[in-house]
Amino acid sequence: MQKISKVLTIGIILAGITLLVVKYGFNLSEESLNLLHFLTYFFSFGLAFQFLFRFLFSQQKKNFLEENRKELILICFLGIALFFLRTQLLFPNIFSSSKDTAYLFICQIFIVAFIIIKIPYFYKLFSFFHLSPPLNIVFTFLILIAIGTFLLILPFSTVPGNKTSVLNAIFTATSSTCVTGLIVLDTGSHFSIFGQTVILILIQIGGLGLMIFASFFALLSGNFGVKERIMLRDIVRYENLSKMGYLVLSIISLTFVFELIGAIFLYFQFLPATNNHLSAAYSAIFHSISAFCNAGFSIYSNSFMNYQKNLTVNLVITSLIIIGGLGFIVIANLSRVIISRIKKRKDSLSLHSKLVIFTTFILIGLGTLFLFVGENNTLLKDLPLGEKILTGYFQSITARTAGFNTIYIGSLTTFSSFFLIMLMFVGASPGSTGGGIKTSTFATLLLTIKSMIKGKDQVEIYNRTIPRSFIYQVLCVVTLALGWIGFSTLFLSFTEKSTFLNILFEVFSAFGTVGLSRGLTPQLTNWGKIIIIVTMLAGRVGPLTLALAIAGKKTVKRYEYPEESIIIG
């Protein structure tokens, strides 16, 4: 009976989700709305009934109530709310004219809350299939893309008069989930507020990772056990199992704190242009989340070109991009060191953090310099020196992973375009919201080349030696990345009628999950869109992760062949 009840519960939850989607996703007739409202009441009471059903057939009722206390509390709140609404003991005049609406609202809130407290069971779904960590990563992104595609197809997701095809919805959902920013449909004019909200949620979950959110809810519900910790450890590459819960809380809290601070600063900058507090707040929140998650999505058709000379907007956006692109492990390590220094304790950054921070700022400096030189006599020739530097600084940061722009990318010189391609290839840092081969991979590759030139057998940095296995991983990542980009460019050259530079730029932008384009994205053919969709997913998941997901578990080495030299070069 308990098994039947669990199946029944899953069915009711899925039905509740369907009702909410149909309610807010389609324009329904009055008759259909009445039927939908009746079904909402029915399934709300069905969730309450299944709890009572499971309780009656449980052998240890006390333990059952302790294990399911959140459901019990939620059902009690539903009963109390409906009782007070029915009897009007509290606030008798508030719902007198819209009691039916109040009943419906309470039932909808109950269904949503019930779904939220069931999120930790997401772990059990994956553990049931015994998927490896790489496959977990791939499937979580595919699930998010599928859900996002379905929601973006809904008529309510677009402004009246517009329609979204299935392929365009898949493209937008993939670009959002993979925090890329390439768009075939203008986000601000094609999609409604509901559609933009779906995109924003996909950006937030895709940037942090679905498993992080599932871990957070599992931690709150007390279901964050050893299996869940091990699964998350393999995904975020954090070895300390005992502090895994602290890491999850740190990631979630730091993300929302930085996004909130960024939104506050942006709000005061957007307010004069809109002269509407709600519109300015919405725009600030949207762009703050998009910047921190390194997504590059904007509700402005020309991105931030209207704010090219606004120092505050430029600095806030770039700061959010840098922090989000460093990686949560680096942010946590840096925060701990800063707190230790304040408390006058000795603590130092890890080798990974040092390498990431050093490489990040070197790339920012070189990017600013090269863009200044490349566009000084073209796009930037009419700007004062300070604004030239600011524009180069902004574009060098966004080119590595975020995808915002304050200048028209299609008008860049070949020199600047190719340098942006190099920045897009490197991307952000491991464990961050960005893509690319990652800063630590790029730095390790250069260090390996340096060691080989000097005749050293080991790769050394900051008085530490990088293990040989990591060197092999670096070579694998770079080779797979270049291979994927090469084949994608080859096929795209066959399907698209555009210059080679535009095609190459598009592929690197998709793989690096950047979102910059020289104008090719809206003109892509259906085959071109499919190629870019797969490339965005491969770039976000990572070439090595994708290869491991396809290859499966590592084989045990049972023998070793004798060595023999070959000629190199």
Q: What is the pTM of this model?
A: 0.81
User: Among residues 151, 170, 146, 136, which one has the least CA distance to residue 533?
Assistant: 170
Q: Strand 459-461 relative to strand 464-466: parallel, antiparallel, unpaired?
A: antiparallel
Residue 224 in 3-state DSSP?
A: coil
Residue 97: partners with Cβ closer than 8 Å, 6 or more residues away = none
Copy the structure tokens of residue 387: 């604004």
Nearest to 436 by CA among 470, 481, 475, 486: 481
* Residue length of the chain: 569
- Longest Cα–Cα distance of the chain, Å, equals 90
pLDDT at 205: 86
Question: Do residues 17 and 47 lie in contact, with contact meaning Cβ atoms separated by under 8 Å?
Answer: no
pLDDT at 296: 85
Which residues are CB-neighbours of 148 under 8 A, at least 6 positions away? Answer: 169, 172, 173, 176, 177, 198, 199, 202
Digit-by-digit pLDDT tens for the chain (569 residues) are: 656 666 666 666 667 777 777 776 666 777 777 888 888 888 788 778 877 877 777 777 778 777 777 778 888 888 887 777 766 654 445 444 455 677 777 887 887 787 777 666 655 555 555 666 667 777 778 888 888 898 888 888 888 888 888 899 999 999 998 888 888 999 888 999 989 999 999 998 888 766 666 666 566 555 566 666 666 665 566 656 666 767 777 778 888 899 999 999 999 999 888 888 899 999 999 999 999 988 889 999 888 888 988 999 999 999 999 988 888 788 878 888 888 888 878 778 888 888 999 999 999 999 999 999 998 888 888 889 989 999 999 999 998 888 888 888 888 999 999 999 999 999 888 877 777 888 888 999 999 998 888 888 888 888 888 888 788 888 888 888 899 999 999 999 999 988 999 999 999 999 988 989 998 998 999 999 999 999 998 888 876 566 555 555 556 677 788 887 777 66
How open is the CA angle 353-358-364, to the nearest 5 degrees?
125
Q: Tokens 């730091």 correspond to what residue?
A: 254
CA distance 509 to 131: 30
Taking the alpha carbons of 563, 565, 566, 569 in that order, is the dihedral positive or negative? positive
**What integer pLDDT is reported at residue 188 of this predicted model?**
87
pLDDT of residue 162: 85
Q: Which residues contact 176 (CB under 8 A, 6 or more apart)?
A: 148, 199, 202, 203, 206, 295, 297
* DSSP label at residue 158: B
Query: Distance between CA atoms of 550 and 132, rounded to whole angstroms?
Result: 10
Q: For residue 399, which amino acid is it?
A: A
The two tokens of residue 23 are: 């309610």
Residue where the block lists tokens 């950006």? 203
CB atoms near residue 303 (< 10 Å) = 24
Using DSSP, how many helices (H) and how many strands (E) does the chain show? 24, 2
Q: Alpha-carbon distance 380 to 371, whole Å?
A: 10
Which residue is listed with tokens 């590592």? 554
Provide the CA 21 distance to its chain's centre, in angstroms: 22
Neighbours of 486 (CB within 10 A): 12
Contact status, residue 295 vs residue 402, Cβ threshold 8 Å: yes
Q: Residue 467 phi/psi, 5° resolution?
A: -55, 150
For Cα atoms 433, 148, 290, give the angle at the middle one, nearest 5 degrees.
Answer: 35
Q: What are the two backbone dihedrals, phi and then psi, of residue 264, each rounded to the nearest 5 degrees?
A: -65, -45
Q: What is the DSSP letter of 243?
A: G
Which residues, listed in sequence order, are joined to residue 464 by a DSSP beta bridge? 461
The CA distances from residue 521 to 33, 164, 412, in Å, are 39, 16, 17
